[in-house]
Amino acid sequence: MTALVNRLAATAHAGVLLFGLLLLLVQAADALWDDAASGRERISLNKGWHFKRWESNPDNIVLKPWILPMANAFINDPATHFKTPVDRQPGFRISFAGDSYNDTDWEAVDLPHDWAIKGPFYTADTPVVGGGMGRLPIHGIAWYRRKLTIGPEDEDRRIYLDIDGAMSYSMVWINGNLAGGWPFGYNSFRVDLTPYLKLNSSDNQLAIRLDNPVQSSRWYPGGGLYRNVWLVKVDDTHIAQWGTLVTTEGATAEAATVQLSVQVENSGNSSREVMVATDIYELADVKAGMRGMKVASLGSKLVSVLPGQRQTVNTSAKVEKPKLWGPPPTQTPNLHVAVTRLILASSNKTIDTYETRFGIRTLNATGERGLLVNGERIYLQGVNQHHDLGALGAAFNHRAAERQLEVLRELGANAIRMSHNPPAPELLDLADEMGFLVMNEAFDCWQNQKNPNDFHLIFDDWSEADLRAMMRRDRNHPSIFAWSTGNEVGEQTDGANGGSIGRRLSAIVHEEDPSHRGSTASMNVAKPNTPFTEAFDIMSLNYQGEGIRDTPAYSGFTGTHTPPLYPDFHKAFPNSLLLSSETAAALSTRGTYFFPVTNESSAPQTDQIPAGGSDPKLRQVSAYELYSTPFGASPDKVFAKQDENQPYVAGEFVWTGWDYLGEPTPYYSARSSYFGIVDLCGFKKDRFHLYQARWRPDLKTAHILPHWNWPDRKGEVTPVHVFTAADEAELFLNGKTLGTLKKASNVTSYRFRWDDVRYEPGELRVVTFKDGKEWANDTVLTTGAPAALRLTADRSLIKADGHDLSFLTVEVVDKDGLVVPDASNAITFTVVTVVGGYDMGEIAATDNGDPYDMVAFPSKTRKAFSGKALAIMRAKPGAGGLVTVVATAEGLTRGIVALTAVP
């Protein structure tokens, strides 16, 4: 053991040095990046909060009239602005908001913080929060408090609080004064703290109240200050919140014209004359935020701004031979940054510097050929994603979000629909950097409710402000190709009213995005000839593209029955981009199979249909990947309908990429979904290989299912299916051929299936061919009993910053190292510090992807599920060092992995 530790320490020290060097380089780059004379500071306020939550309301306050005027900055018609109450402050004191309240016994927390994720799960039959919202304690009133230091240098500056997302109904107090708030939990917002701050004081009391109702969502919303929070300090005259807009129409590899509009805000008491000057740089190293070559200067413009006013300055410049942004693998997601400075005319002093990241590219939404990016047709291989990060909950974490995208990239996905709400801003940055196309979405409902306490309660007051706020924040992201104003809203079938709200929201989209990315709303029941449909530029169909309940297996279910509607929509809107914003709603549990297997290529599954597709006692659905909700379809059916309607159907967004918390259809006694192509841990379901074979047809892979450990099925029919991009496959059981199958070129078939195989233990092997040449093989073996744990880390070098993560997979293996596919041993994770001398890391959460596992996520002990479990390791902020994580289970050889945390 000592030898092992020494060896690990040596490697780790080499790693620390290398990483330290990299960090130095990055810091040097940052130094270039930071303009010394910037005039603007953006300070993270994530540390040092005191937090308390009540299940019922401790203070009974309703301050709606004071919060509503926050929307005015995002409502275009002044006549409809909300009036600020005559009394600028509510006439009563709230102790939690004031500076004399003693919060020392409250919980100390850092942000991003999701108060609900630690659980425990509600397991009762009539829980406070049911399966739909994840059976976690999301509800209640909470207060977050911390102090702010405002120094003498902050005199004459504007001090803003920028909250990237707070769940929900937030109200912000500073020094006992109500300064603002925002009800919608998914939008980012800014509160001006300036009028209420004490200068030269470290005793400015910030207090934020959140109110998160039950029955407010169809999925897990999380609760708390769950995204980043910033303090922004600027000169009185500065670039306004989200105050730049870049458009790059007409871009080619030869040249592009970049247009920039800059909104200058003067919140001081006297007029200001400022020069607005912008330089455009390539982003050389996106991760490090390192500028590359300067590619253009947008000439300076002088502008005079009256006190309390805003002025917009428009400039443009030509960029020669621009590096275009586009989705891999055929294009590269090159990014640029526009660095805009405000220079005071009187003194030549730079009073503000503002960076706008953007990409140069063209988007062309066609009715005939789908979406063209830089002239190339990009078939949308998209997935829907909810905002939670599995066992980490809603609390935004950069690495966890990046990992989600990495898994999707490996799958071959090139597009994401942000279902059904504005995402964390950093997720859009990641999409830009990695080259995903994004459908950004504002709402899940309008006036018609889906749940008693959802957004419908505030839609009339807030929909304009929320849609404009989302768009102003997000419109410079090159990844966004469409703006969705709603998902399956009740108004689809609401005749004139649906049409009129749709047109109002569409008009907002057109006003806020002059680059003409289209508006849409997803339709699962609206038909082509309804007023609703006509309101939008893009036709986004949920399920009705491939047909709903239109095959015999589904015909007995009540609800909409629709033939595939791609042709009808295309006929009615020949010039509109037509895509499926949701497809499949297929269901499965990783590594779990039930018998008999349906002969259909797509079969419905509810909690009432046990035979073959699922097991109501286990609350699991079979991973033969043939089963779906009654309104959905197997991937195979969707592929066929997409293919029949090429090239005008632009592609699909599968429901969903990853499993998510809540909506555990068909078993609402569970806590997370069955819809994902990957499970809640990020482990691949069999479906992963079905999509990968279609979306990455050049990848030489073949994948056999099911596993081959069926001691009770000797001699019984146990179908074997193979997912591969090959066109011919031969299956062998213990060396004997079970026959060769071919995908006929005139038949759309997306899997090979040998449905009559009788189980005998041993070896299953498939050999595949494409165009007559050997393509890829796969082997599945009957394994022995569990003997050991194998622990591996996705990254063994992480930053000791309190945020960076290493995802540790533990597999239960037999004596030959084969993963035992039905193992469910209880595994305990322990962190042992080896070098560094202090407690430097923690297991933040564990999971196994089982939607019905009710052990709270922070538990250090987790049962393996289908042979695997996940532990998420977070290094604490500090000096770093070498740490090992040990996984133990009774009777098994333990697993060890070494990690290095670097300061």
What x/- string results for residues 163 through 202 when contact with ligand GAL is judged by CB under 6 A?
Answer: ----------------------------------------
Burial of 166 per CB tally in 10 Å (0-12, 13-18, 19+):
buried
Q: Which is nearer to ligand GAL, 524 or 848 (CB)?
A: 524
- d(CA 173, CA 160) in angstroms, rounded, equals 13
The dihedrals phi and psi of 23, each to the nearest 5 degrees, come to: -65, -40
Residue 600 Cβ, how far from ligand GAL at the closest point, in Å?
20
Nearer to ligand GAL, 579 or 585 (CB): 585
Residue 358 CA to residue 246 CA, distance in Å, equals 7
Q: Please give the residues from 362 up to 421 whose contact with ligand GAL meets the rule CB under 6 A.
A: 419-420
CB 187 within 8 A of CB 462: no
What is the number of alpha carbons within 13 Å of residue 268 lying toward its C-beta? 17
Binding string to ligand GAL for residues 293 to 332, with x set by CB under 6 A, is what?
Answer: ----------------------------------------
Cα-to-chain-centroid distance, residue 390: 11
Q: Which residues in 706-735 contact ligand GAL (CB under 6 A)? A: none
Rounded to whole angstroms, the Cα distance separating 478 from 357 reads 9
Determine contact, residues 183/169, Cβ cutoff 8 Å. yes
CB closer to ligand GAL, 218 vs 357: 218
CB-nearer residue toward ligand GAL: 267 or 524 = 524
Distance CA 880, CA 835 (A): 9
CB of 549: closest distance to ligand GAL in angstroms? 13
Least distance in Å: CB of 420 to ligand GAL? 6
Angstrom distance (rounded) from CA 867 to CA 835: 32
Residue 585 CB, nearest approach to ligand GAL (Å): 5
We find the least distance from the C-beta atom of residue 663 to ligand GAL, in angstroms, to be 6
Q: Which two tokens stand for residue 257?
A: 């014209």
- DSSP assignment of 106-118 equals SEEE-SS--TTTT
By beta-carbon proximity to ligand GAL, the closer residue of 609 and 856 is 609
Annotated catalytic, 582?
Answer: yes
Interface with ligand GAL, residue 585, by CB under 6 A: yes
Q: How many residues bind ligand GAL (CB under 6 A)?
A: 13
- Closest to ligand GAL by CB, 441 vs 512, is 441
Position 286: which residue type?
A: V
101 Cβ partners below 8 Å, 6+ apart?
95, 145
Candidates 217, 266, 374, 542; binder of ligand GAL (CB under 6 A) is: 542
Which CB, 19 or 655, lies closer to ligand GAL?
655
Query: 629-668: which residues touch ligand GAL (CB under 6 A)?
Result: 629, 655, 663, 665
- Cα 587 → chain centroid: 20
The least distance separating ligand GAL from the CB of residue 627, rounded to whole angstroms, comes to 13
Mask: binding to ligand GAL, 215-244, rule CB under 6 A, as x and -?
A: ---x--------------------------
Q: How far is CA 61 from CA 56, 64, 442, 453, 587, in A?
A: 12, 9, 28, 17, 43
DSSP assignment of 156-183: TEEEEEEES--BSSEEEEETTEEEEEE-
Q: Which of 265, 282, 433, 488 is catalytic?
A: 488
User: Helix, strand or coil for residue 152?
Assistant: helix
| Binding of residue 487 to ligand GAL (CB under 6 A) | yes
Strands (E), 336-444: 336-344, 350-358, 363-366, 370-373, 376-377, 380-385, 415-418, 437-441
Pairing label, strands 376-377, 370-373: antiparallel
Cis preceding-peptide flag for 796 (omega within 30 of 0): no
Closest approach, Cβ 784 to ligand GAL, in A, equals 39
- What is the 3-state secondary structure of 683-742? CECHHHHHHHHHHCCCCCCEEEECCCCCHHHCCCECCEEEEECCCEEEEEECCEEEEEEE
Out of 265, 512, 582, 652, pick the active-site residue.
Answer: 582
Q: How far is the CB of 698 from ligand GAL (least distance, A)?
A: 31
Shortest Å distance, C-beta 756 to ligand GAL = 33
Spatial separation of the C-alpha atoms in residues 446 and 487, rounded to whole Å: 9
Q: Which of 524, 580, 724, 846 binds ligand GAL (CB under 6 A)?
A: 524
Residues 216, 454 contacting (CB under 8 angstroms): yes
β pairing state of 437-441 and 480-487: parallel
Decide whether 464 or 488 has the Cβ nearer to ligand GAL.
488
Shortest CB 554 distance to ligand GAL, Å: 15
What phi, psi does 95 have (nearest 5°)?
A: -60, -40
Q: Least distance (Å) from ligand GAL to the CB of residue 582?
A: 6
282 vs 546 by CB, closer to ligand GAL: 546
**How far, in Å, CA of 560 to CA of 784, rounded?**
48
Nearer to ligand GAL, 631 or 829 (CB): 631
- Using DSSP's 3-state secondary structure scheme, residue 427 falls into helix
Active site residue 488: yes
> Whose CA is closest to 851, among 671, 603, 677?
671
Considering beta carbons, is residue 267 or 522 the nearer one to ligand GAL?
522
627 belongs to the binding site for ligand GAL (CB under 6 A): no
Instruction: Map tokens 């050889």 to a residue.
Output: 893
Q: And the tokens for 417?
A: 């629909």
Q: Just list the catalytic residues.
A: 488, 582
Binding interface with ligand GAL (CB under 6 A): 218, 419-420, 487-488, 524, 542, 582, 585, 629, 655, 663, 665
